[in-house]
Amino acid sequence: MNRLFTLMLALLSVAVSAQKRCGTNERIAQLSNDPEFFARHQAITRYLKDARMHQRNLSANMPNVTVTIPVVFHVLYKNNNQNISESQIESQLAVMNADFRRLNSDFSSVVPEPFQCHGADMEICFAKATIAPNGQPTNGITRKHVDEDFNLETQYYTEEGQPAWDTSHYLNVWIGRFPTFGYLGFATPPAAAGQAYDGLCISYKCVGSMGSAIPPYNQGRTIVHELGHYLGLLHPWGEDESSCGEMTNDDGLEDTPAINDPHFGCPSYPENSNMCNPDEHGAMFMNFMDYVDDACMAFFTDDQKSVAQATLAGPRSSLLGVREIISNSDILVYPNPADKYFVIHSDKTYVDKVEIYNANGQLKKEATLDKVENVIGLENLPQGVYFLRIYANGKFLRSDKIIKK
């Protein structure tokens, strides 16, 4: 019996390995048939290219600010095995938060020493939504039994699947079964922000580190990879998968060496077979945006952080305008983006001061907070990204990011 179970698990692992890891490029190509989407995508690509350099130059001086994105998981299942447990989803959240804060325990063992200096704390956290769009409490998970002919790839956000929660304010993650030999997952890019189909679509076979997750994609890195796309990151070989020597053959970042093909499995370092310009260190195949096994990818770079932060300051800024889901307070900062003012609302936690820093880390304004709703004027501040430090009883409580438009 044990031998039969081992054989079945091995066959399942082979089947999962045979799937294409990421379908994001194909999804972008499909969406680009819509002229309006294509125009938005081109414009945001240009914006991210310009904003990345500015963001990278500022990062050393910015105050330590971590933002939290609310997530809703939509589980679309045809049988009990696909109806993954809340514990499995929690294991996925733990991976997301460790990887995006560079707190993953495998960083130093997986990332070769020459690349470790590029490892970035993305300063992004994720938490299950606690308030549904209708204002009611939620555990951040929806579940729906779908028909046998349901196609996750094309119907995930429709009535046959599960319509999204407001994609401007929630990260929607749909989990289910792709057609045989389909993808492990795909994401929509920043150009899809606010659309009904915006979010991540993921196979139930590669969520978290337990339950239905199957090796070699059983450490939660499929969602980490797709979150990179959601936040504007490309594969190191570029969006159109062109050959070395062409203008669009890479991700446009300086600290991710250009390659012309993905890596699979667990390559040995240094690995130069796919390098456009081979060198002593080889390819950065252990980056989260490549295709290696979960156990063999372990970090984002500083330039990738700059892109993600620019995305949150631009096309996905509305994700930061909802109630932050943190354990030490119940504070609402709105509107975000803001024009002439913003409000700090706190009816359960006493707050007494806010400091406003610009992107250079310079303190631009302080304000005393002494009401449930405190209106903070922004008239004398130029447009841009600002960082708030909120204090309670004279002690630092939390950080926020706000956009002055």
Q: What does pTM read for this prediction?
A: 0.79
Examine the residue annotation and report whether 226 is marked as an active-site residue of this protein. Answer: yes
Residues 269 and 176 in one domain: yes
Residues 212 and 349 in one domain: no
Q: Rounded distance, CA 8 to CA 311, Å?
A: 43
Which of these is catalytic: 226, 239, 271, 324?
A: 226
Does residue 27 lie within any of the structural domains?
yes
Residues 104 and 141 in one domain: yes
Report the CATH number that the domain containing residue 284 is assigned in CATH: 3.40.390.10
Residues 305 and 344 in one domain: no
pLDDT in tens, 135-191: 888 999 999 999 999 999 999 999 999 999 999 999 999 999 998 767 899 999 999
Q: Which residues span the domain enclosing 342?
A: 326-404
Report the CATH number that the domain containing residue 354 is assigned in CATH: 2.60.40.10
| Strand partners of residue 352 | none
Does residue 306 lie within any of the structural domains?
yes
The number of folded domains in the chain is 2
Closest by Cα among 292, 214, 197 to 11: 214
Q: Which two tokens stand for residue 32?
A: 């680009």
Describe the strand order of the beta sheet including 331-334 as a list of residue ranges.
Answer: 331-334, 341-346, 373-377
Q: Which of 284, 310, 336 is the last residue of a domain?
A: 310
Does residue 34 lie within any of the structural domains?
yes
Residues 234 and 334 in one domain: no
Return the residue matching tokens 């915006």. Answer: 198
Residues 177 and 210 in one domain: yes
Q: How high is the pLDDT of residue 325? A: 38
Q: How high is the pLDDT of residue 248? A: 66
Residues 282 and 167 in one domain: yes
Does residue 320 lie within any of the structural domains?
no
The more confidently predicted of residues 328 and 394 is: 394
Residues 284 and 330 in one domain: no
Q: Which of 310, 338, 373 is the last residue of a domain?
A: 310
Q: Which of 310, 337, 352 is the last residue of a domain?
A: 310
Q: Helix or strand or coil: residue 403?
A: strand
Is it the case that residue 308 has pLDDT exceeding 80?
Answer: yes
pLDDT in tens, 314-364: 899 888 764 433 334 467 888 888 889 998 888 666 788 999 988 767 889
Does residue 219 lie within any of the structural domains?
yes
Residue 7: what are its φ and ψ, rounded to 5°?
Answer: -65, -45
Q: Rounded distance, CA 150 to CA 179, Å?
A: 9
Which of these ranges, 11-15, 184-188, 248-252, 265-269, has the smallest mean pLDDT? 11-15
Residues 81 and 128 in one domain: yes
DSSP notation for 183-239:
BSEEE--GGGTTSTT-SEEEEGGGSTTSTT--TTS-SSHHHHHHHHHHTT---TT-S
